[in-house]
């Protein structure tokens, strides 16, 4: 059985999400659209802890790097 792992966002990741929200707000004029999109990103990030060995391996870029799709 795979153990669920906690996902903790770094300060840099949180700052990036804030910047994404600001960009979407400036582009769309809608705070609710910006917040909804960033919330979906956060939810996807936290769901990675449910399958920590999931996703596609990219050891050719950085050893141990995995990528997962977002709203494909």
DSSP one-letter code for 4: P
Q: What residues make up the domain containing 16?
A: 10-50
Q: How many domains does the chain have?
A: 1
At 14-27, the pLDDT tens digits run 999 999 999 999 99
Q: How confident is the model at residue 52, as a pLDDT?
A: 85
Q: Per the domain annotation, does 15 fall within a domain?
A: yes
Q: Per the domain annotation, does 34 fall within a domain?
A: yes
Q: Per the domain annotation, does 23 fall within a domain?
A: yes
Mark the ranges of the chain whose per-residue pLDDT is less than 50: none
Q: How confident is the model at residue 70, as a pLDDT?
A: 93
Mean pLDDT rounded to a whole number for the chain: 94
H helices present in the chain, as ranges: 11-28, 31-47
Buried b (16+ CB within 10 A) or exposed e, 43-67: eebeeeeeeeeeeeeeeeeeeeeee
């Amino acid at each position: 059985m795979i153990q669920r792992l906690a996902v903790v966002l770094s300060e840099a990741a949180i700052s990036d999400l804030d910047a994404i929200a600001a960009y979407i707000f400036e582009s769309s004029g809608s705070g609710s659209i910006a917040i909804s999109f960033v919330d979906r990103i956060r939810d996807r990030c936290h769901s990675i802890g449910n399958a920590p060995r999931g996703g596609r391996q990219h050891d050719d870029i950085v050893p141990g790097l995995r990528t997962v799709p977002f709203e494909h």
